[in-house]
Amino acid sequence: MTGLRPAPARVVLRGRTVVPGVVTGEVLVSPETISGWGGIDPATGTITEARHPLAGVCFTGRILVFPGAKGSSGWSGFFQTTRLLGTAPIGMVFAVTTTKVALGAVVTRVPALADLDDDPVAVLRTGDRIRLDATAGVVELLARTEEEP
Amino acid sequence: MILTDDEQRMRDGAEGPAVAAAMDLLVRYGQALDAERLCTVRNVAGTTTQPSPVKARLVAEGGWDRAFSIINLDADETLPIPPMAVPTCQLQQGFGPDSVGTVPYPPEFVELQTDGEAFVGARGVSVLATCTPYQVGNLPVRGEHCAWMESSAVVYANSVLGARTNCEGGASTGAASLTGRIPCWGNHHDAHRLGTHLVRVDTPVSSFRDWGLLGYAVGDVVQEARPVITGDHALPDLTDLKHFGAAAASSGGVEMYHVVGVTPEAPTVTAAFGGRRVPEPVVFGEAEKRAAYERLNDQGSDTDVDFVLLGCPHASLDQIHDVARALDGRRLADGTQLWIMAPRALAVVAERSGHTAVIEAAGGRVLTDSCPAMSRAAPLGTRVFATDSAKQAHYLPAILGIQAWFGTTAECVDAAVTGRWRGDLS
């Protein structure tokens, strides 16, 4: 766990509700799109794609911030399985809406936001603490990680 | 989202709790997409029977009604599953009884799946058990709204057949099968089917391998967008387009493409772009072809091949026949296996036509229902495999932790017979 400091200035992103709900937690930023089938292990809640920058990293209990989904139509089923096995992320914030990621967020049943007014992957950093109000369509940075990006 | 009176009735439970759960999922999904309404579908391709540890647990707890409710309807409780409301087929799944003795796959999964086939079959599902339903009896007509999953089938349905489907998932196809509805979004709309990128082929594309390389290169460039292919290519057949789309849906997320003068929504470049401004072309020349070839072969270093995998997406009869001709009178190398994956309906025809006997006499196998990537199963001890499929070369090294070689079907058969990879891009 890295240290946190107060957010430097008020950082707020606004977006479109994908799945309503409110959650506060730590961010995991994936700089690249994520594969479901062949890309994650639902049993452990980790990213497994060998060439992915987050290979081996666990998303369980964190708010996943990522550009979007890639790969097979099994995407939603794999994330649904993380919910059934208790390894799911607690929220999702993504840039590009596709059927794969939209259905995936629905069946993972976590607050989810998309189509934001700024790129969440560029603005947020792994380790940041945010409040995701997907009902109102707002992400607020509560505390900034002390880790350099 | 606007629901019709019929849809509202289904949501309110007039057709039972499973249909109500299905409509609830479709509404949540439609809202997630910001879709205005649902559209009527009469053709669903999904998956229920594929075994997994979670599914085995759910079936043990409450039978297939429970597994379908939790996974295919995203419900919280076990609901009695009624007959399908519209024609529905089961896509590829796990390995079946024909694989026993050849494929190292859990026997309890073979049994679970056989049980699942009986459950869905009794509710009207056609158990096609293939990633290529369009080869074996599910051939939507142009303009037909469908709810299909399996990325290689979705891109074929949209692009080659002119049917309309998004890349659906297990829950949305489950819900569609009980309601005949799916969110009207994306590929269901005319504007979302028009080309976005012009691709000019400057190096000859004439073989099955070349169409795979072109697809792999184009998918990487356009990602989820819609490429329009022009230039120096021969007239592709079903097998070429099947390979092209699967490759483009692996390196990118292509769900719709046009080949000018070939695919139904692209009689001309102008038509493919719907009269909008045609962008500057992206060029596929010798350098781009080589780059795609090298990327597909960057997971191979050891030329001793112990496994050859053909038929991804599932083989056509022409492909099975080609392999039989190439293997006629030859024997696989000791310690090397060759599997060709096919829809069971076509495996029946291949056997009847004598192709299977030739392949088996050489030591190869025609297998059905699944593939090594779906079922995470290859011959025990496999370290290096060779394939003529860009999609398998893309996925299988990560899924099974093995090395990969990609080349022509003839190079793969040669590797199976000699135990050595000798492919090159000539």
What are the extents of the domains in chain B? Answer: 5-190, 194-295, 299-418
The predicted pLDDT at position A1 comes to: 47
Q: Looking at domain B5-190, does it have CATH number 3.30.499?
A: yes
The answer, for A44 touching chain B at a CB cutoff of 8 Å, is no
- DSSP label at residue B337: E
Report the topology of domain A4-145. Glucose Oxidase; domain 1 (3.50.30)
What are the extents of the domains in chain A? Answer: 4-145
CA angle A17, A19, A24 (to 5 degrees): 90
Name which of B52, B151, B250 is nearest A73 (Cβ-Cβ). Answer: B151
The answer, for A77 touching chain B at a CB cutoff of 8 Å, is yes
Could you tell me which residues come within 8 angstroms of residue B20 by beta carbon, excluding any fewer than 6 positions away? B10, B11, B12, B13
| Secondary structure (3-state) at B394 | helix
Please give the C-alpha separations between residue B28 and each of A110, B37, B241, B395, in angstroms, as whole numbers.
12, 12, 35, 31
The predicted pLDDT at position A2 comes to: 54
- Cβ of A96 within 8 Å of Cβ of B399? The answer is no
User: Is the link from the previous residue into B313 a cis peptide, with omega within 30 of 0?
Assistant: yes
> Per DSSP, what are the bridge partners of residue B126?
B89
- Given the candidates 3.40.50.10330, 1.10.3720.10, 3.40.47.10, 3.30.499.10, the CATH classification of the domain at B299-418 is 3.30.499.10
B237, two tokens: 């057949």
- DSSP label at residue B150: S
| Secondary structure (3-state) at B386 | strand
The answer, for A102 touching chain B at a CB cutoff of 8 Å, is yes
Q: How crowded is residue A25: how many other Cβ atoms within 10 Å of its Cβ? A: 17
Q: Are B252 and B282 in contact (CB under 8 A)?
A: no
Region B397-406: what's the mean pLDDT?
Answer: 92
B94, two tokens: 């796990």
Reading phi first (left if > 0) and then psi (alpha if -120 to 50, else beta), residue B64 is in alpha
Residue A50 scores a pLDDT above 90: no
Q: Are B354 and B317 in contact (CB under 8 A)?
A: no
Residue at B146: amino acid letter: C
Which residues in chain A are closer than 8 Å to B28, comparing Cβ atoms?
19, 106
Identical topology for domains B5-190 and B299-418: yes
* Best residue of A48, A51, A72 to probe chain B, by most B CBs closer than 10 Å: A72
**Chain B interface residues (partner A, CB cutoff 8 A):** 25, 28-29, 31-34, 52-54, 70-71, 74, 149-151, 154, 166-172, 185-186, 223-224, 250, 252-253, 373, 395, 397-399
ipTM for the complex?
0.95
Q: How close does chain B come to A66, measured CA to CA in Å?
A: 16
Nearest-by-CA chain A residue for B376: A38
Output the average pLDDT for chain B: 97
Region A136-141: what's the mean pLDDT?
Answer: 98
Q: Are B104 and B377 in contact (CB under 8 A)?
A: yes
Residue B126 scores a pLDDT above 80: yes
A102, two tokens: 């939209």
| 3-state helix/strand/coil string of A25-51 | EEEEECCCCEECCCCEECCCCEECCCC
Active site residues of A: 72
- Cβ of B28 within 8 Å of Cβ of A19? The answer is yes
> Per DSSP, what are the bridge partners of residue A26?
A129
Nearest-angstrom CA–CA distance, B91 and B95: 12
Tell me: the pLDDT tens digits for B187-244?
999 999 999 999 999 999 999 999 999 999 999 999 999 999 999 999 999 999 999 9
Categorize the per-residue pLDDT at B407 as very low, low, confident or very high, splitting at 50, 70 and 90: very high
Q: Which of residues 118-147 of A touch B (CB under 8 A)?
A: none
Tell me: the pLDDT tens digits for B268-319?
999 999 999 999 999 999 999 999 999 999 988 999 999 999 999 999 999 9
Q: Would you state the torsion angle of the CA atoms of residues B52, B57, B62, B65, taken in this order, to the nearest 10 degrees?
A: -10
Which contacts of B260-268 are long-range, i.e. CB under 8 A and separated by 24 or more positions? B260/B228, B260/B229, B260/B230, B262/B235, B262/B236, B263/B159, B263/B160, B263/B162, B264/B142, B264/B160, B264/B161, B264/B162, B265/B162, B265/B193, B266/B195, B266/B228
What's the farthest any 2 CA atoms get from each other in chain B? 65
Name which of B33, B252, B397 is nearest A102 (Cβ-Cβ). Answer: B33
Q: How close does chain B come to A45, measured CA to CA in Å?
A: 14
The predicted pLDDT at position A147 comes to: 78
The predicted pLDDT at position B300 comes to: 87
The predicted pLDDT at position A146 comes to: 84
The answer, for A80 touching chain B at a CB cutoff of 8 Å, is yes
Nearest-by-CA chain A residue for B172: A103
- Cβ of A98 within 8 Å of Cβ of B149? The answer is no
Tell me: the pLDDT tens digits for B311-355?
999 999 999 999 999 999 999 999 999 999 999 999 999 999 999
Reading phi first (left if > 0) and then psi (alpha if -120 to 50, else beta), residue B231 is in left
Q: How close does chain A come to B95, measured CA to CA in Å?
A: 17
The answer, for A90 touching chain B at a CB cutoff of 8 Å, is no
- Cβ of A70 within 8 Å of Cβ of B252? The answer is yes
Residue at B378: amino acid letter: A
Name which of B29, B70, B170 is nearest A106 (Cβ-Cβ). Answer: B29
- Cβ of A80 within 8 Å of Cβ of B186? The answer is no
Residue B398 scores a pLDDT above 50: yes
- Cβ of B74 within 8 Å of Cβ of A106? The answer is yes
Nearest-angstrom CA–CA distance, B229 and B384: 34
Residue B131 scores a pLDDT above 50: yes
